[in-house]
Amino acid sequence: MQWMNALLQGVLLGGLYALLASGLSLMFGVMRIVNLAHGLLAVAAAYLGLVLVQHGVHPALAVPLVMIVAAPVGYVLQIVLFDRSLALGGLAPLLVAFGLAVVVTQILQEIFTADTRTIQVGSFATASIRLGGGLAIGVFPLVSFAVGAAAIGGLQAFLARTQLGRAMRAASDDVETVRLMGVSSRRVYGMSTALAFATVALAGMFLGMRTQFSPTYGDAVLIFAFEAVIIGGMGSLWGTLAGGIILGVAQTVGAQLDPAYGVIVGHLVFLVVLAAKPGGLIPKVVTA
């Protein structure tokens, strides 16, 4: 029964990893940008949520407020920074994302110091649902998984069924043709990044409610998100969900063997998948 519980908890943890990775997958799928600032942006969103909660805003209300702030920030950063780096090509977008991560980390350290923080959600963090036979599901992990799966499904539906979403898919395939059709690639890329930032803000809020974080925690978040994306397939949203679940299960099963093995087993699974299938399990572009 302990192993069954480990599998169940791993699946729920995978939903959070998928949520963390969805914005990273979207930016790569549409613009081929590997956003090295992704994990740090999730941490920055958690700090913003922390400030709102400390000033009396209910955590449930703080989540959409942080997303509303993050979306225009993403649009502006795309227009001001990433667009110019894309025009230069090569490693320029990667270096810009790295520089952004360094700057934001230093700003967070200056404002909040290096102390660890967490967003308090009261009894919601410890509430659980008993399934019988010694199995129990935490309410918060269950909600995290549901939100992660819903976010993946919502992004997929947006890309498949809306005019802007179809423009994003077209731009990921052939941006020059999109421009010839009279569609502004600048706007499409800006909206893609805004959507990715809103998603990472949502993930950052759930991350801040689940665990302690500090200005340097973004590196660990980026690794988990990146591994989920690689396991599932770069640019594949459903693959990202599958990759997050596989990574989560690997970590919880490893921790069941020995508490010190959790993260290591997750990394080993990532390496095995990378060696066996470098393109990931579902190596398709955003529309997958």
Measured distance CA(241)–CA(142) in Å, rounded: 15
Residue 22 belongs to some domain of the structure: yes
SS3 assignment, position 248: helix
Measured distance CA(36)–CA(205) in Å, rounded: 19
181 within 8 A of 173, measured Cβ to Cβ: no
User: What are the angstrom distances between the C-alpha of 136 and each of 3, 67, 253?
Assistant: 13, 31, 16
pTM of the model: 0.91
Helices (H), 162-184: 163-173, 175-180
Measured distance CA(7)–CA(25) in Å, rounded: 25
Contacts of 282 (CB under 8 A, 6+ apart): 232, 233, 236, 238, 239, 242, 288
**Count of helices and strands (H, E) across the chain:** 12, 2
Q: Which of 134, 175, 102 is nearest to 5 (CA)?
A: 134
Q: Report the CATH number at residue 124.
A: 1.10.3470
Phi, psi of 130, rounded to the nearest 5 degrees = -80, 130
The count of other CB atoms within 10 Å of the CB of residue 139 is 15
Structure tokens at 43: 């941490």
Structure tokens at 198: 């809103």
Residue 133 belongs to some domain of the structure: yes
Residue 283 belongs to some domain of the structure: no
Domain containing residue 175: 2-276
Number of domains in the chain: 1
Residue 56 belongs to some domain of the structure: yes
Q: Which residue has the tokens 């043709």?
A: 177
Helices 139-161 and 185-210 cross at an angle (nearest 10°) of: 170
Helices 2-31 and 139-161 cross at an angle (nearest 10°) of: 30
Measured distance CA(214)–CA(212) in Å, rounded: 7
Structure tokens at 7: 């599998």
pLDDT in tens, the chain (288 residues): 678 888 899 999 999 999 999 999 999 888 888 899 999 999 999 999 999 999 999 999 999 999 999 999 999 999 999 988 888 877 899 999 999 999 999 999 999 999 999 999 988 888 888 887 778 888 999 999 999 999 999 999 999 999 999 999 888 888 888 887 888 888 999 999 999 999 999 999 999 999 999 999 999 999 999 999 999 887 788 899 999 999 999 999 999 988 888 899 999 999 999 899 888 888 654 443
